[in-house]
A and B are shown apart, each in its own frame.
Chain A
């Protein structure tokens, strides 16, 4: 018995040594960016893309800005909000980061919001797309998109293009509900009818039974929102159930035809019409260079998450340039407001009032270009603000 207690002491001493070993080192002339991304689990592809894009940007532009060296500290949260929160706290308290960035899903971004407010440091949201996020803290700025932006536009487009009856399939969490509500609002206002409404669980969804119901309801199209990464699985089951042959088209925000997975989805995806912020086929010179550089570095096509990460780190660089290297959080967030620049996705800016992104939304159709599947843009809605806020 006595020996056991001795063992306890040894273990506790070992624990101290362990904690000391992981304690971080300090440096003065660096600006630290705490990057919290899902690197494992179902949303890992999002995290991977953003990390890649940031690395690429720093390779291209160098890792010093306004005399400061930029240091990225990456943490994995597996898209679980309490892990995000712990990671954010650790980054702020121990690593003394000047920015927190990333956030693969809405719950994660929301979980970190109170910390950004308390610590007065900017939170750069590079993926999560629910409207309310930027309202949760005056220190949040977003470089990705909101579901309201793309959902309302695809609804208007559907009404104008003879789609009358729509069934909806959306993931059951905040962004999915945003997508559904904004779509319904504009679609029914334009005279359309939603015949079937299905919400699928976020984790490990099986779409097959839902798709069967969709097929029976015989809509003109199905409106789909699933987080990027689940699109491939959805399309596979969509084709397996023969919905493509039944003439039921897929429309929705562009998450479902994310460039990351699009090329492997098979021909069932041809003709899918989506509204979104970015396509790897965007015909600007800047985008062509970006896609080429990304492909060269990582061997895959960049998706919209990669672009959001690329723009996110750009915004951080620009803010530091504007403050002349001053790392005061309040000054940085002020410097970010109203920034305007040309991104691979087209011209974008940060709304000075809502700190949310203003960008073009493109209507795209999946087509074969040189034997590969691409979202080909055919209509543009310019400088779209987040309607989730302008409505209020």
Chain B
């Protein structure tokens, strides 16, 4: 077997759909029917998951670290809000795409700054861009509503048919559809030759350049795409909550996103989704138990996760299921921790 066919074989094997993946999405869909009273928090998780997937695209596949991903989220959120508020584009799906494109333009423009540096520079540059936009949004409060936020957004029915309801049912299935479609797209992209070239760049940019991969152009492309994803996540946020405030640009939002990926792991697309689920549920449980000091417990859990290591933690969690599988199926444990890095 030649080296190239070997690579092709592995790439194809990875790109194939697995039962576990199908099961994952079925379970997510089932949640929508099992918990009709929890739509809001589930929608929140979906939005965060999409946003985390966006960061995963650049961090997990291209190795670009960012502490300012909220910049694109915010642009998407305000774009969707302004479009709906002023009745420019009333149909939510079109407005969603338009908002995503707005974030994409910003992503493309700022990508030139981001590709210039290495990790530390990138952290600073991305952080700076997000802070800049937050300050601008505060300064131009006549457009953005400043600290008071955009008030009085009224969302029109999706595709002119399905209205957003108070219980968040429409919002949930709308968000789920968007997330799934964008996930399929992301999945296609990361398993394409383009996606493979990104991994090569992540592993060693110099070597990647030496074998003829246009490093900068690839990085600009994926950064722009990630911005589009983040913009869509932001627009979903505005559309499902009918509110946009300065908080969309907040540093916490970018930092939370990193935590989500630390929990879930990077470089296999599901990391963001799983991390979002765990992160939000932890938050919800702790803030229900202690509305005042929940941040303490979240912090503690995160420190433990990082110190113990996700892999070891998973092995513990999976110990009992594996034991059961061994007993029932009589074979070696099939469930193990993912080998990806954070």
Q: Which of A7, A39, A119 gathers the greatest number of chain B CB atoms within 10 Å?
A: A7
Q: Which of A5-45 contact B (CB under 8 A)?
A: 5-16, 18-23, 39-40, 44
A90 at the interface (CB under 8 A from B): yes
A15 touches B338 (CB 8 A): no
A23 touches B21 (CB 8 A): no
B2 at the interface (CB under 8 A from A): no
B interface with A by C-beta (< 8 Å): 13-14, 18-21, 23-24, 27-28, 31, 34-35, 37-42, 44, 138, 141, 146-149, 151, 166-168, 237, 241-247, 268, 270, 273-274, 277-278, 281, 284-285, 287-288, 291-292, 294-295, 314, 317-318, 321, 334-338, 340
Query: How far does the alpha carbon of A4 sit from the alpha carbon of B338 in the complex, in Å?
Result: 5
- Interface-lining segment among A103-111, A253-261, A274-282, A334-342: A103-111
Query: How far does the alpha carbon of A92 sit from the alpha carbon of B39 in the complex, in Å?
Result: 13
8 additional A-B residue pairs with CB within 8 Å, beyond A12-B23, A16-B31: A6-B334, A6-B336, A19-B31, A82-B244, A92-B166, A107-B148, A115-B166, A173-B146
The one of B20, B149, B241, B295 in contact with A5, judged by C-beta atoms closer than 8 angstroms, is B20
CB distance from B278 to the nearest CB of A (A): 7
Query: How far does the alpha carbon of A75 sit from the alpha carbon of B284 in the complex, in Å?
Result: 10
A2 at the interface (CB under 8 A from B): yes
Query: How far does the alpha carbon of A39 sit from the alpha carbon of B295 in the complex, in Å?
Result: 11
Question: For residue B292, which residues in chain A have a CB less than 8 angstroms away from its CB?
Answer: 39-40, 44, 48, 76
| Given A3-B336, A203-B147: A19 touches B245 (CB 8 Å cut-off) | no
Question: For residue A4, which residues in chain B have a CB less than 8 angstroms away from its CB?
Answer: 20, 268, 270, 338, 340
Query: How far does the alpha carbon of A201 sit from the alpha carbon of B39 in the complex, in Å?
Result: 34
A86 at the interface (CB under 8 A from B): yes
A86 touches B241 (CB 8 A): yes
B41 touches A90 (CB 8 A): yes
A6 touches B335 (CB 8 A): yes
A202 touches B147 (CB 8 A): yes
Query: How far does the alpha carbon of A115 sit from the alpha carbon of B241 in the complex, in Å?
Result: 11
Which 10 residue pairs spanning A and B have beta carbons closest together?
A: A5-B20, A12-B27, A173-B147, A8-B24, A18-B281, A76-B291, A5-B18, A4-B338, A11-B274, A15-B277
Query: How far does the alpha carbon of A75 sit from the alpha carbon of B44 in the complex, in Å?
Result: 16
A173 touches B148 (CB 8 A): yes
Question: For residue B284, which residues in chain A have a CB less than 8 angstroms away from its CB?
Answer: 22
Provide a sorted-by-A list of 11 A–B residue pairs whose CB atoms are within 8 angstroms.
A2-B334, A4-B20, A5-B18, A6-B334, A7-B318, A12-B277, A19-B42, A40-B292, A76-B287, A81-B148, A173-B147
The one of A2, A107, A114 in contact with B20, judged by C-beta atoms closer than 8 angstroms, is A2
CB distance from A114 to the nearest CB of B (A): 8
B167 touches A81 (CB 8 A): no
| Given A5-B23, A40-B295: A110 touches B37 (CB 8 Å cut-off) | no
Query: How far does the alpha carbon of A181 sit from the alpha carbon of B92 in the complex, in Å?
Result: 37
Question: For residue A80, which residues in chain B have a CB less than 8 angstroms away from its CB?
Answer: 245, 247
Question: For residue A76, which residues in chain B have a CB less than 8 angstroms away from its CB?
Answer: 287, 291-292, 294
Query: How far does the alpha carbon of A5 sit from the alpha carbon of B281 in the complex, in Å?
Result: 21
A1 touches B18 (CB 8 A): yes
For B141, give the chain A residue with the smallest CB separation. A172
CB distance from B184 to the nearest CB of A (A): 15
The one of A6, A19, A48, A92 in contact with B38, judged by C-beta atoms closer than 8 angstroms, is A19
Query: How far does the alpha carbon of A1 sit from the alpha carbon of B321 in the complex, in Å?
Result: 19
For B250, give the chain A residue with the smallest CB separation. A80
| Given A1-B13, A9-B24, A106-B148: A82 touches B287 (CB 8 Å cut-off) | no
B20 touches A9 (CB 8 A): yes
